[in-house]
Structure 1
Amino acid sequence: MARILAIDYGTKRTGIAVTDELQIIASGLTTVNTKELLKFLKDYTIKEEVELFLVGEPKQMNNTASESEIHILPFIDNLKKEFPNIPIERVDERFTSKMAFQTMIDSGLKKNQRKNKALIDEISATLILQSYLYSK
């Protein structure tokens, strides 16, 4: 089997998580500068087989699209052009940042470590991926 890669897209930084080859365990991979995201994905897919891209879908409480969706849709178009053979699915990402922050607290990270926004993005991507795996 190939891996599933989850993307928590942001205008500055993007968190990335990936499954193992058996698609059982979701692990944070990294956070990359969004300007370098497509290059990172190209390099990664050369080394590892990716079966599916999951892209977080930010929604409002009333289930309508969040304002940040205007930045994500052009990225998804570029992703489709660069990787026409890898399907893309969207996953509701409501509360993932808050859950990521709580995860950091629960794991005992000190206050100054919890200010690491890149780590929050990576944990958020992992939560997106875990929710997808649980729903399968």
Structure 2
Amino acid sequence: MRILAIDYGEKRTGIAVTDEMQLIASGLTTIPSGTALAFLTDYFAKEKVEKVLIGEPKQMNGLPSQSAGLIDAFTAKFTNQFPDMQVVRVDERFTSKMAFQTMINSGLKKKQRQDKGLIDEISATILLQDYLIQKNK
């Protein structure tokens, strides 16, 4: 069964998923946030997913960030629509910066690095990869 990670944002949502053995995290897609629940309904009908990670935005001092209310509202809708799905909230501090640095390190041109959707997808992948590393320690 797979683990899926969601980097939910006001406009876009990045989604990453593991392989069946939960060894490798890969970016799946970036979608408009308003379509997230419909997308996930369709995806869960096709793929077996064991749990979903949802980013938890925090400030440097550990307090919730400005976008926390938006993501908490999405999480509530998600758990209402998928009551049997295990949800794990994951600290998402630094994921956008790490995603941008990953894009630079991988040689993407400046124009490609301005693709905010790609940043969201890579951020979700980083969330998921970090979770896998912690889980397997």
- TM-score > 0.5 by shorter chain: yes
DSSP-derived class of the 2:14 partner: strand
State the number of aligned residues.
135
1:74, 1:98 → 2: CA distance?
Answer: 24
Structure 2-normalised TM-score? Answer: 0.97
The sequence identity of aligned pairs, in percent, is: 64
Which residue number in structure 2 is paired with residue 130 of structure 1? Answer: 129
Confirm or deny that 1:35 pairs with 2:34.
Answer: yes
Question: Residue 18 of structure 1 corresponds to which residue in structure 2?
Answer: 17
Q: Deviations over 1:25-72 (max 9, x none)?
A: 000000000000000000000000111010001111111011100101
Instruction: Work out the CA distance in 1 between the residues paired with 2:51 and 2:31.
Output: 19
Q: Matches of 1:45 and 1:106 in 2, distance apart?
A: 33
Q: Secondary structure at the match of 1:17?
A: strand
Q: d(CA) in 2 for partners of 1:134 and 1:65?
A: 24
1:115 and 1:52 mapped to 2: Cα distance?
Answer: 31
Aligned equivalents of 2:49, 2:2: Cα separation in 1: 5
CA separation in 1, counterparts of 2:66 and 2:108? 31
Deviating beyond 3 angstroms after TM superposition, the runs of 4 or more aligned structure 1 residues are none
CA distance in 2: counterparts of 1:82 and 1:104, whole angstroms: 34
Partner in structure 2 of residue 106 of structure 1: 105
Counterpart in the other structure of 2:54: 55
- Structure 2 residues not aligned, in runs of 5+: none
Q: Give the root-mean-square deviation of aligned CA atoms.
A: 0.5
SS for the counterpart of 2:4 is: strand
Q: Please report how far the alpha carbon of residue 79 of structure 1 lies from its aligned counterpart in structure 2 after TM superposition.
A: 0.6
